Amino acid sequence: MSGSDPMVVVDGLTTTYRTGRTEVRALRGASLSARPGELVAINGRSGSGKTTLLNLIGGLDVPDSGTARVDGRDVGALAEDDLLSLRRDVIGFVFQSHGLIPVLSAAENVEVPLRLARRPAAERAERVRVLLSLVGLREHAEQRPYELSGGQRQRVAIARALANRPRVLPADEPTGRLDSETAATIMPLLRAVVRGENVTALVATHDRVLLGAADRVLNLRDGVIAETGGPPEFSPPPH
């Protein structure tokens, strides 16, 4: 895929949050690019700006300056209708807390974005079946979120994010609320998704397991992205 164009190009994003008299410069010129089929981890300690960055890429927020381009479109400059369609059709967000609808079954939760996109019933049913198989939950389709484990819920959230065949999958600490054993099962799933659906996954995390499975690790520090490769604490131990 080395010849393919980048799907996500972030250039010089800055964001300052102002609360009362304090200013937090969350991003100070963050830049990155990512290609289709790439699993990119965004590593950084709590407060380093990971969520801010993903929200800008996902069109949930607007930067002070700089651009986030997704599939060639400048996300921060889109009119509302275009932004809505970008978020529905091109971007599939996975949040730290799964955000599933409690009264709906796993299958119905996955179906929600397909309904919003007005896909026909037969197509919805087939896509839900494929996605629940992909995330290993075919046997759990009828269970509601409270009848599923934390890891299973996050799998449903991933399946839901993939419903409309997004090109870009921002995932904000998808294992942040999971125990390490369960967390370890999520990265192979994301890997399979990235390959199987040829998406660009941007995974904010400081989970070593997730970092280890990424194609590239970008380090977010002081509001900018340092070169690829792990920070010293994540480098392989010397032999």
Picking from 30, 55, 9, the residue whose alpha carbon sits closest to that of residue 200 is 9
CA dist 14 and 121 (Å) reads 43
CA dist 118 and 204 (Å) reads 31
Decide if residue 152 touches Mg ion (CB under 5 A).
Answer: no
Looking at the Cβ atoms of 17 and 180, the one nearer to ligand ADP is: 17
Smallest gap from Cβ 12 to ligand ADP, in A, equals 17
Q: Which of 43, 48, 51, 219 binds Mg ion (CB under 5 A)?
A: 51
Q: Where are the alpha helices (H) located in the chain, listed in sequence order?
A: 50-57, 80-89, 106-116, 121-134, 150-161, 180-197, 208-213
| Contact partner at residue 46 from Mg ion, ligand ADP, none, CB < 5 to 8 Å by partner kind | ligand ADP
Looking at the Cβ atoms of 52 and 200, the one nearer to Mg ion is: 52
| Contact partner at residue 205 from Mg ion, ligand ADP, none, CB < 5 to 8 Å by partner kind | none
Contact flags string 145-184 toward ligand ADP, x per CB under 6 A: ----------------------------------------
Q: Answer yes or no: are the C-beta atoms of 5 and 14 closer than 8 Å.
A: no
Q: Which of 26, 114, 128, 218 binds ligand ADP (CB under 6 A)?
A: 26
Decide if residue 17 touches ligand ADP (CB under 6 A).
Answer: yes
Cα distances from 218 to residues 22, 43, 52, 162, 196, in angstroms, run 28, 6, 15, 23, 23
Q: Give how many residues touch ligand ADP by CB under 6 A.
A: 12
Smallest gap from Cβ 52 to Mg ion, in A, equals 8
Instruction: Classify each residue of 137-168 as buried b or exposed e, where b means 16 or more C-beta atoms within 10 Å of its C-beta.
Output: beebbebebeebebbbbbbbbbbbbbbbebbb
Smallest gap from Cβ 26 to Mg ion, in A, equals 10
Decide if residue 52 touches Mg ion (CB under 5 A).
Answer: no
**Site residues for ligand ADP, window 47-76 (CB under 6 A)?**
47-52
Q: Answer yes or no: are the C-beta atoms of 213 and 187 closer than 8 Å.
A: yes
Picking from 118, 125, 61, the residue whose alpha carbon sits closest to that of residue 93 is 61
Interacting residue ranges for Mg ion, rule: CB under 5 A: 50-51
Site residues, ligand ADP (CB under 6 A): 17, 19, 24, 26, 44, 46-52
